[in-house]
Structure 1
Amino acid sequence: MELRDYLRGLRRHWLAIALMTLLGIGTAYGWSLLQTPVYEATASGVVQAKTEYENGQLLNDDSSARLKVPTLIDMAGWEEVAERVIDDLGLTESPASVASRITVENPQSTAIIRFTAQASTPQEAAALAQAWIDALAATVAVVDGEDTPTEISIYAAAAATVPTVPVFPDTRTALIVGGVLGLGAGIAFALTRTASDRRVRATDDVESKLHVPVMGVIPSSNALTGASKLLTDTAGERAFPVAEALRSLRTNLRFMDVDNPPRKIVVSSPLPGDGKSTIACNLALTLARSGEPVVLVDGDLRRPTVATNLELPGGAGLSDVLTGRAAVADVLQRTPHDPHLLVLAAGTIPPNPSEVLGSARMRQLLEDLAKHATVIIDAPPLLAVTDGAVLTQQADGALLVVGVGKTNYDFVEKALDAVHKANGRALGLVLNKVPRKGGDASPYASAAYVQEYVKGESRKRSSTRAAAESA
């Protein structure tokens, strides 16, 4: 796979990526709500040293104070200091537990000792930091006694303030980490799905993978979602992309072999649900609208749908002609949609469709019809039953309708292999239900392209009509 395939995969799975990113953010937010908040308060004390000289005068000695700081920092971790704090604040914890919530630091080259306390409430954190200074000062006074020539004291220079924001959990950081992890998981999911996805995509290099030409690209449209699924002139602009795609398919068929164009064309698919009957009916109607005589044959003798799609009565049809119970001229029906289109319905469903479709009478019938018109045969799915493969042998070739985003390459390859084993000819693929938006959209099926083209045509018709009226 190339880089562009992975980029399309990311675009195709953008919703999953977004959802997983939101899930990561939501999980991080939920985790932060479940955590016990930790507040941090800091109080600072200045170490003062006063030395008594012979005249009985006490003078500040900054050098002695700075020399005493390391000793005081070590004393701040004594159990005796922690016990004093517990007594002062009325705590129930052990001295070791309380001491673990205190951090003592000394800014370089200063006589300042900074006490940082952590607690589950802002008030407790501030009280703990302040109580530790007082407890250390009391302990120093007891240890030094009254006979020392240098008096050491700790002055509470900066009282602890009550914090307003907890230091843990850091909700903003947690949300960022959760979002990044969710985004990474979403991208990994999208790339994995893309690498393992074997479904046919409109933008994939279908021809290079299957070595079969793509004869048509039919965009997805709600114009074909009715009961008949037939493209009519009343559908308006919403049917324009499909109508244009069908005209392009008609042109490709005509220029496929200029000297000997196919006259008997089977329309089938690998599996049910790819839209082969809809394409067969609309292709026949598109050919007929160009003034070309067309006969549409319902060759699906198991689940016939042509008569329903064209809003015609079922009754007698193909099976009755092949069994000699009816003449072709008697069962051919004209459709109200175009006078150049004749329809041969399936008729009575026989118990042995494969044998009926593979008979010499079927071959002769198709030959006779092809002398006067182009014959489009709606065949059953190739992998569901053998009827479709049998019909490809009777015709000039087969168009394989493939549902984009539904049918995978393995099924298409098996369907093509079934055609070749039956000594049939695969004319090409018709990619059906191609998205008009998103990563799988065809450039000529995109909504923006079609809308601009239709507007251009409308302006052109309007200007022509205005010129005619003025003349």
Structure 2
Amino acid sequence: MDLRGYLKVLARRWPTVLVCLLLGIGAGEAVTALTTPVYEARTQLFVATRTGVDTSDLTQGQTFSQARVQSYASIVATRRVTQPVVSELGLKYTPEELASRITAEAPLNTVLINITVRDTIPARAAAIADAVAEQFSTVVEKLETPKQAQASLRDSEEAKAPASPVSLRITQQASIPEKPVSPKWLLDLAAGLLGGLLLAAGVVSLREALDTTIKTSDGLGELTSLPVLGSIPYDRSSVRQRIAVDSTNTSSRAEAFRKLRANLQFAQVDDRPRVIVVTSPVPGEGKTTTSVNLALALADAGMRTCLVDADLRRPSVAGTFGLVQDAGLTTVLIGQARAEDVVQQAGSRLTVLTSGAVPPNPTELLASERLGEVLRELADTYDVVIVDSAPMLPVADTIGLAQLADGVLLVVRASKTGRDQIRNAAELLNRTGVRMLGTVFSMASSFKGKAYGYGYGYGSAEVPVPRPAIAHEVAAEAAAAPGSGEK
């Protein structure tokens, strides 16, 4: 995956990215809140050479001091310095713990030594810094004093002349710090943001690796080796309205169904199917919405169309159009009525045969010879018959029904249907010997980053909103101009 593709993935999974960023920021804030403040006190020493003691002049003494001062800085945190300081101040630290809080540096080409002490109490940090500077000066002067001179000084109590060639003087006393040097809020926040981004990248990469759904119509075509006859964009505004195609609707969703109609007609120009079953691998893919709008698009093109609701477990076509469901396909199959007696009009060229009462044995009814006779009768009466059927994998209803049709359309929902589900549904249809017309990619991402399309759940508690105005529309179309041409 290239950088552009990865950025698209991050944009598509922006909720995950946002959660990870918030977690990172929260972690940074928590580190700042839970970290004990640390204060820093500084003191500075000047290394001078005592002229006239083993040196010829001041210039030589300056060179001597600069050469030695780098070594002095390494002595600051030794036990010879920290042990007396711990005893003097009554600290609860060990000499080694105190040494870990002390740093010393000697800038190049100078005779200065900077001592820094860190502690959780400001006043104590300053006191330790001053005590370390005093003790360090004493230790260095003793180290620089020759052994013979040290013995002479011990023997003669009146000897006043210093034997050490160097002298360390404090040039800057430690002051009590006012602000802590840690924690640093901005640094912790930046680290939290960076950690959140890295976490988001890892989580998104893992989810992409584990995600087996189809994201593009090209991917669907490669997986099934079937033509993708339509890609229906997702439209958030039509969640509760399945109907997209009418004479006044020019939305991208409506145009997508019209393109599906055109692709279906041109793809099967030599052997145009009269009875088309629309199904999906699993519930919630948009098969009923595809059936309804494909039937409307075909009727809008001047074809006499019959829409049959053969989903006898959870029918929803009648509710979509606001029609009566009690009398329909099951009524015809059990011999209580003829199809022409129970069909209902949903437009000047669209006729709907609703499901009728929900039967206890839908699989047997849909595989019966009587259903084949009904479909042939409808095919003789209408130019095309669209059959909305049950999903393929949960139930066996569509297996027998598909064998009675001239072709099958498989509806797949973008970013929801798994590859194995699609593959299993396609293989199941192929094994039964039915004619696969192609696939429909529903609820796909739009081309310009906006969301178009529809959404509904198979078997959900939500009831599709009927169109109360449908009866008025039918009456208006019938009274307008009988026998008029294509719209």
Q: Using structure 2 for the length normalisation, give the TM-score.
A: 0.78
CA distance in 1, matches of 2:59, 2:252: 98
Contact 1:44 1:115 in 2 (8 A): yes
Structure 1 Cα separation of the partners of residues 71 and 409 of structure 2: 92
Local SS of the residue matching 1:207: helix
Aligned to 1:212: 226
Residues 282-319 of structure 1 deviation map (CA, whole Å, 9 limit, x = unaligned): 22122112221111111122222222221111232222
2:201 corresponds to which of 183, 187, 190: 187
* Equivalence for 1:274: 285
Aligned to 2:372: 363
Which deviations, in whole Å up to 9, do the C-alpha atoms of 1:189-232 show, x marking residues without a partner? Answer: 21221122111223552212221111111222245433x63336
Q: 1:266 to 1:99 in 2, by over 3 A?
A: closer
Contact 1:230-1:282 at 8 Å conserved across structures: yes
Alignment CA distance shift 1:148-1:310 (3 Å):
same
Cα deviations by residue, 1:154-208 (Å, 9 ceiling, x for unpaired): 2212233444554444444333333223212211221221122111223552212
Matched, 1:177 2:187: no
Counterpart of 2:173 in structure 1: which amino acid? A
Q: How does 1:53-68 map to 2 (within 5 A)?
A: 62=62
Counterparts in 2 of 1:242 and 1:158: CA distance versus 1, 3 Å = same
Q: 1:87 to 1:341 in 2, by over 3 A?
A: same
Secondary structure of the structure 2 residue equivalent to 1:48: strand
Of 397, 407, 410, 2:420 maps to 410
Cα offsets for 1:251-304 (capped at 9, x unmatched): 111112223211111111111111211221222122112221111111122222
Structure 2 residue aligned with 1:159: 173
Compared with structure 1, are the counterparts of its residues 354 and 158 closer, same or farther at alpha carbon in structure 2 (3 Å cutoff)? Answer: same
Cα distance in structure 2, aligned partners of 1:132 and 1:221: 73
Task: Quote how far apart the aligned CAs of 1:34 are.
Answer: 1.7
Q: Which amino acid aligns with 1:242?
A: R
Tell me, yes or no, if structure 1 residue 314 matches structure 2 residue 315: no
1:231 aligns to what? 244
CA contact (8 A) 2:281 2:421 kept: yes
Distance 1:349 1:139 in 2: 100
What is the aligned counterpart of 2:352 among 343, 348, 354?
343
TM-score (norm 1): 0.81
More moved, 245-254 vs 182-191? 182-191
SS in 2 for 1:339: coil
Distance 2:67 2:446 in 1: 79
CA distance in 1, matches of 2:182, 2:92: 23
Tell me what 2:275 maps to: 264
Alpha-carbon shift at residue 42 of structure 1 (Å): 2.2
Separation (CA, whole Å) in 2 of partners of 1:4 and 1:70: 53
Aligned-residue identity in percent: 37
Moved more, 108-117 or 409-418: 108-117
TM-superposed deviation, 1:368: 2.1
1:442 aligns with 2:451: no
Provide the rounded CA distance (Å) in 2 between the counterparts of 1:294 and 1:247: 15
Q: What code does the residue aligned with 1:246 have?
A: F
Q: Once the 2 structures are TM-superposed, how far is the Cα of residue 405 of structure 1 from its aligned partner?
A: 1.8
Q: 1:76/1:251 Cα in 2 relative to 1: closer, same or farther (>3 Å)?
A: closer
Q: Match for residue 30 of structure 1?
A: 30
For residues 315 and 436 of structure 2, what CA distance do their matches in structure 1 show?
A: 23
For residue 407 of structure 2, the aligned residue among 394, 397, 405 is 397
Q: Name the amino acid aligned to 2:43.
A: A
Closer, same or farther: CA 67–354 of 1 in aligned 2, 3 Å? closer
The amino acid across from 1:269 in the alignment is S
- Amino acid across the alignment from 2:447: P
- Shift in Å, 1:90: 4.9
**1:103-118 residue pairs with structure 2 within 5 A?**
103-118=103-118
Aligned to 1:45: 45
Structure 2: any 5+ residue segments left out of the alignment? 154-158, 453-487
Task: State the secondary structure of the residue aligned to 1:371.
Answer: helix
* Structure 1 residue 52, shift from structure 2 partner: 6.2
> SS at 1:255's partner residue?
helix
Residues 1:377 and 2:381 are matched in the alignment: no
Structure-2 separation of matches of 1:96 and 1:444: 65
Q: CA deviation at 1:64?
A: 6.3
Identify the match of residue 304 of structure 1 among 305, 315, 321: 315
**C-alpha distance in structure 2 between counterparts of 1:443 and 1:141, whole Å:** 80
Distance 1:77 1:242 in 2: 75
In structure 2, distance between residues paired with 1:217 and 1:78: 76
Distance 2:133 2:386 in 1: 97
Query: CA-to-partner distance for each residue in 1:30-81, whole Å, 9 max, x for gaps?
Result: 123322232222211123343568xxxx999546656775786576556564
Amino acid at match of 1:114: N
Question: Could you give the per-residue CA deviations for residues 390-428 of structure 1, whole angstroms, max 9, x where no partner exists?
Answer: 111111101111122221121111111121122211111
Cα 1:346–1:61 shift into 2, 3 Å? closer
